[in-house]
Structure 1
Amino acid sequence: MQGDDLGNMIYLGALGAVLVSWYVVQNHGGLSKLVRDAAAWVFIFIAVMAAIGLWGDLKHDLMPRQTVFEDQGRVELPRAEDGHYYVDLEINGRTVPFVVDTGATSVVLTQRDAARIGLDLNNLVFLTQAMTANGAVDTAPVSLDIVELGPFTDKNLPAYVNGGEMDTSLLGMTYLDRFESIQISGQKMVLER
């Protein structure tokens, strides 16, 4: 549990204690009604906490995802609520989420994603730099053995591991240039080979 989570739990606990105390003082005459009402509120509290906890999983399942049309050699990416396009690639057998970035020259992995696909972070050499909106960031050149998106498989894809903090890996033009056509129409991006 992180510091913010602990602080939120303490705050919720204190708020709950105040509400229970107020309720007990208001209903000091009927103990059985008090117990029944308290049980109902505990059940409501647990249900709300479960819904909040499950929202992250449900949100991912309810959001539109990429659609692969293997017979047509096409992948469609829906536009997310934040205006970006996201795609999941299989790299060395592991699913890695990317934000499609036509303004990025290269494929850039977060350190977390790099470790997940089997790259040894301790052996990376951060000898290059990339210019970002936040300034220069050290990067380590790598080669991705196998990259798969639906029916498309690429081998030895050049990429970089970001030496700084980054939330999501970026899918830049060194990968996107492998497609014959990239179109944005309506609320979707269509990649074709």
Structure 2
Amino acid sequence: MGFLLGAFGKLAAGRRVRQLQAQMMRVQSRLRRATRDVSEMEKQLQRQEKAQLNAVTAQGMMAKQCALGQVLGGDQSAFQALQQTIASGGTLSAEDTQKYNNWSSMYTQGSTTIGAYNEQWISQMKQQISDNFEVLRETQLEPLKDEEEMLQTEKDSLESQIQIAQQDYEACKKMEQADAKNLAPNYTGQG
């Protein structure tokens, strides 16, 4: 009787091992895909965030340059002419020196104000971009990570089930082999 129980148990345990192994292969495939998707999504979000941060910085610098060009308004070209005169070693009249000093002071004040405003704007925009990408990570990346974690848990569970099924198979195999000895015919005639 133990022989039959062992044989049928071995068949059932073997079938269970094969089923679990097939299921494990499917889970491993899905897990690899999920891991790859998480990695690709993380890289894509990082690239997009970096590109947007760089674009904001570039926009801020261009806006600053444009604003600096407008500090003196229509006097900009006259100011530049006076700068060239000084650079070439020329001398300025008292009136031109007064204008130059006034424009220089206006330019310095304007430059400081524009620079501070520009830095504040860039900082706010970068924070907004970072916040937006954090929301994207939570809404798009977290579900992928959750799926990856769920598949890893399922894989771990299957590994333990396979191990148990293999132990059952071995136990049934030993039971079958042990009782097979009792089924051997006794040819000695001594009963």
Query: Which band: TM-score by shorter chain?
Result: under 0.3
Task: Tell which structure's C-alpha radius of gyration is larger.
Answer: 2
Higher normalized strand content (fraction of residues) = 1
Higher normalized helix content (fraction of residues) = 2
Q: TM-score, normalised by structure 2?
A: 0.27
Higher relative contact order (CA 8 A, sep 6+): 2
